[in-house]
Amino acid sequence: MGSARPLRIGITCYPSVGGSGILASALGEELARRGHEAHFISYERPFRLPAGAPRLFYHPVVINDYGLFKYPDYTLPLSVKMAEVSRDHALDVLHVHYAVPHATAAILARSMLAPPHRPRVVTTLHGTDTTLLGRDPGYGPAIRHALRQSDAVTTVSAFLERETRELLAVDRRIDVIHNFFEPRPARRTREEVRRELGVGKEALLLHASNLRPLKRIDLLLESVARIRPAQSFKLVILAGADFSPFAPGVRRLGLSDRVVVRENVGDIEDYLQAADLGLFTSDMESFCLSILEAMCFSCPSVATAVGGIPEVVESGRSGLLVPPGDADAIARAVESLVADPGRRQELGREAHRRARSLFSADVIVTKYEELYRRVCAAPETA
C-alpha cells in the first residue's frame, strides 16, 4: 500500500452462512489488518467476523415491522443506515456483496448525501444475483440500473462476467476478482475430528453448502450410494441449513452408516483438515468457495464442471471435474481417488499450490485495494 492514506470502506453482505458473506467478512478482516477501516452494515453481525478487532466495526440495520406492510422492507432502512454511516465515518467506498437489494440500497444512499459525503459504490456480483435474479423480469431492470450506476462492478469469475454481460445487457467495465480464502488454525487435531466423525481407515469425503436446490444434494447422495466398495468412505456434510428434508434420502439409499451431518459449523477448518476429498455436485456455481477452502488444506475435490469451477480447479492437476448430473461419473471419479492415496496427495499438493498462488488474500485483497483507489481517483458516476 506504500504511504497512501488508509481507506474507510463500508461493506454490506448477507451475514448468514453463504459464500458471499464469508468472502465479504474475510475481505473486511484483511482490510482492517492492512490499516484500513471496515464498517459492516447489515441486519446481523456476519457470523465469521471476529469481535474486538481494531478498525473493524459493525452497524446494525434495524427493521421495524409495520402492520400496514404485508412484507417487511429491508432496502429502505439499509439505505438510510448506509447514508448515515457514510456521512458519520466519512466512508470512501460502499462495497456491496450480492446485488439484491444491496446495490440498489447503496445507489439510493449515495443520492441521499451531499456531494462531499458521497462514497463511491462498488458492487460485487457473486452468482445468482446474475444467473437467477438477473433473468427475473421483477428484478433484472433494477439490477441493471444499479450496475450502471455503480462506480465499479466486479464478478468472482470470468464466467460470471460473461453471464452478466449477456443476461443483464451490461455494457461497462467489469473487473474479474476471484474469491480468496485464508484459513484460520484448526482447533482440534485431524485425529480428534476423525474420531468424532467415527472415521477409521476409510477415506473421508466432505461436502459443504447451504443445501439449496442447485447444490443437488439428491445427486450427491445418489452418487455416493454408487461408490464401491461401499465401506471405503464416509461422507461428512457441513450443512449451512436444516438437513432434515434430506434425511429420508439418506435412509432410502442405505447410507445411514456412511453419512455424517454437522449443521451450521463455524470452525470449518477443523473438518477441512480432516478430509481427504471434497465432493461438489452443483448444477451451477459462479466460483464455489467451498472447493477453494478445501484446496487450502491440500484436499482436492471431485466437482461438476459448471460455471466458474474450471477457473478454480484444473481437472487432472488440482482435482477432477466431471459432467454435471452424472452420478456414475461422479462415483467412478471418487472411487479412483479413494483407491489411490498417492494420486490424491499429488492433486492435493497442486490444489494447495494453486490456492496460495492465485486465490490468497495477498493476491486478491491487493486487487480490491487497487480498485478502491482507482474509483476514488475517478470522477463520480453521474
Q: Which residues bind ligand GMT (CB under 6 A)?
A: 14, 18-21, 23, 126-129, 156, 179, 214, 284-289
How many angstroms separate the CA atoms of 144 and 196, rounded?
48
Q: Tell me how far, at minimum, the Cβ of 287 lies from ligand GMT, in Å.
A: 4
Nearer to ligand GMT, 150 or 164 (CB): 164
Nearer to ligand GMT, 271 or 280 (CB): 280
Nearer to ligand GMT, 126 or 352 (CB): 126
In residues, how long is the chain? 382
Torsion region of 327: left, alpha or beta (phi above 0 gives left; psi -120 to 50 gives alpha): alpha
Residue 214 class from Cβ within 10 Å (0-12 exposed, 13-18 middle, 19+ buried)? Answer: middle
The residue assigned the cell 477452502 is 293
Nearer to ligand GMT, 214 or 261 (CB): 214
Residue 348 class from Cβ within 10 Å (0-12 exposed, 13-18 middle, 19+ buried)? Answer: buried
Which residue lies nearest ligand GMT, judged by its C-beta?
127
Q: Tell me how far, at minimum, the Cβ of 48 lies from ligand GMT, in Å.
A: 13
Nearer to ligand GMT, 14 or 40 (CB): 14
Pairing of strands 37-42, 56-60: parallel
Nearer to ligand GMT, 163 or 222 (CB): 163
User: 3-class secondary structure for the chain?
Assistant: CCCCCCCEEEEECCCCCCHHHHHHHHHHHHHHHCCCEEEEEECCCCCCCCCCCCCEEEEECCCCCCCCCCCCCCHHHHHHHHHHHHHHCCCCEEEEECCCCHHHHHHHHHHHCCHHHCCEEEEEECCHHHHCHHHCCCCHHHHHHHHHHCCEEEECCHHHHHHHHHHHCCCCCCEECCCCCCCCCCCCCHHHHHHHCCCCCCEEEEEEECCCHHHCHHHHHHHHHCCCCHHHEEEEEEECCCCHHHHHHHHHCCCCCCEEEEECCCCHHHHHCCCCEEEECCCCCCCCHHHHHHHCCCCCEEEECCCCHHHHCCECCCEEEECCCCHHHHHHHHHHHHCCHHHHHHHHHHHHHHHHHHCCHHHHHHHHHHHHHHHHHCCCCC
Q: Tell me how far, at minimum, the Cβ of 286 lies from ligand GMT, in Å.
A: 4
Q: Tell me how far, at minimum, the Cβ of 138 lies from ligand GMT, in Å.
A: 17
Nearer to ligand GMT, 156 or 331 (CB): 156
Q: Tell me how far, at minimum, the Cβ of 66 lies from ligand GMT, in Å.
A: 28
Nearer to ligand GMT, 24 or 83 (CB): 24
Q: Tell me how far, at minimum, the Cβ of 290 lies from ligand GMT, in Å.
A: 7
Q: Tell me how far, at minimum, the Cβ of 180 lies from ligand GMT, in Å.
A: 10
Q: Tell me how far, at minimum, the Cβ of 260 lies from ligand GMT, in Å.
A: 23
Q: Tell me how far, at minimum, the Cβ of 85 lies from ligand GMT, in Å.
A: 22
Nearer to ligand GMT, 194 or 216 (CB): 216
Q: Tell me how far, at minimum, the Cβ of 364 lies from ligand GMT, in Å.
A: 11
Nearer to ligand GMT, 86 or 124 (CB): 124
